[in-house]
């Protein structure tokens, strides 16, 4: 059975990881990303990459999975910014 802290970690990982999904959906629908800051995306990507390294060091699957997903979502956000950012 999962420890309460594993459940807290899973919930936190899910909430922070899905937080990028609405921006991706909005960008795909409107084909506009002018209001999204490239610097914010890059800073978050750097932080998530460091969290991923930390998770790998600890061999913590929750941290690893959440940050792989988060990094992927931010990468997609960055690609949308590059494609649609200059309307």
In whole angstroms, give the CA distance from residue 70 to residue 76: 10
Q: What is the CATH number of domain 4-84?
A: 1.20.1280.290
pTM, two decimal places: 0.86
Q: Where are the domains of the chain?
A: 4-84
Reported as a single tens digit per residue, the pLDDT across 27-61 is 999 999 998 999 999 999 999 999 999 999 999 99
Quote the pLDDT of residue 1. Answer: 63
Compute CA distances 25 → 17, 18, 52, 80, whole Å. Answer: 14, 11, 25, 10
Mean pLDDT, the chain, rounded, equals 91
């Amino acid at each position: 059975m999962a420890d309460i802290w594993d459940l807290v970690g899973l919930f936190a990982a899910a909430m922070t990881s899905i937080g990028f999904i609405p921006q991706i959906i909005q960008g795909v629908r409107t084909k506009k990303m002018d209001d999204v800051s490239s610097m914010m995306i890059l800073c978050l990507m750097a932080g998530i990459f460091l969290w991923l390294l930390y998770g790998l060091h600890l061999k913590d699957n929750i941290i690893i999975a959440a940050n792989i997903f988060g990094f992927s979502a931010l990468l997609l956000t960055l690609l949308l910014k590059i494609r649609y950012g200059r309307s």
